[in-house]
């Protein structure tokens, strides 16, 4: 068989609904036989932060940022109608009603089908987040050159 077709998804957003869209597309690509790379950057890093424990960072501003923006697949807000979590609670219930997986389950599915997770080191630098803040499913820590090299050989490149 020839080289597999490739696809990339930039996950810029840290909201639950947008993460669902990104994973839905990535999993769709991977289950269709494509090699998929997800590049998590800026608020998108929240999606791949550990759910457990604290996030260490240096300096008062970065400490505050990581306190206010803890992240983790289970903590992502809704982009609309979050309503201090009430909207999110309702959306999760609606999803459960139709057996739709939660973000953390989509992460596991994406990995099952070989989706590669790359975390953006620039965003990590700005926000003062270290490697140990992330889930072990993250394959690589890299920057724009890595993304572009991959995107150049991909037929489908998405930004969420």
Name the residues that contact another protein, by CB under 8 A. 24, 27-28, 31-34, 98-101, 109, 112-113
* DSSP calls for 17-48: HHHHHHHHHHHHHHHTT-EEEEEE-GGGGGGG
Query: Quick count: other Cβ atoms within 10 Å of Cβ 74?
Result: 13
- 101 versus 143: smaller Cβ distance to another protein: 101
Residue 114 CA: distances (Å) to CA of 29, 86, 100, 159: 10, 34, 20, 20
151 touches 8 (CB < 8 A) = yes
Q: Specify which residues 142 forms β-bridges with.
A: 120
- 113 versus 141: smaller Cβ distance to another protein: 113
Angle (CA) 59-75-104 rounded to 5° is 120
In angstroms, give the least distance from the CB of 20 to another protein. Answer: 10
- 42 versus 100: smaller Cβ distance to another protein: 100
In angstroms, give the least distance from the CB of 115 to another protein. Answer: 12
- 5 versus 69: smaller Cβ distance to another protein: 5
- Which residue do the tokens 């979590």 mark? 85
In angstroms, give the least distance from the CB of 83 to another protein. Answer: 24
């Amino acid at each position: 068989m020839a080289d597999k077709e490739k696809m990339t998804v930039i996950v810029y957003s840290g909201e639950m609904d947008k993460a669902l869209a990104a994973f839905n597309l990535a999993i769709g690509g991977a289950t269709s036989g494509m090699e998929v790379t997800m590049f998590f950057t800026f608020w998108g890093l929240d999606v791949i932060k550990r759910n457990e424990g604290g996030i260490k960072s240096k300096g008062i501003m970065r400490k505050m940022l990581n306190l206010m923006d803890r992240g983790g697949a289970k903590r992502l807000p809704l982009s609309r109608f979050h309503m201090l979590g009430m909207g999110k609670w309702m959306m999760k219930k609606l999803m459960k009603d139709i057996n739709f997986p939660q973000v953390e389950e989509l992460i596991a599915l994406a990995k099952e089908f070989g989706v590669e997770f790359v975390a953006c080191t620039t965003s990590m630098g700005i926000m003062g987040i270290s490697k140990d803040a992330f889930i072990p499913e993250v394959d690589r820590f890299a920057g724009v050159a890595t993304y572009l090299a991959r995107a150049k050989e991909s037929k489908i490149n998405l930004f969420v």
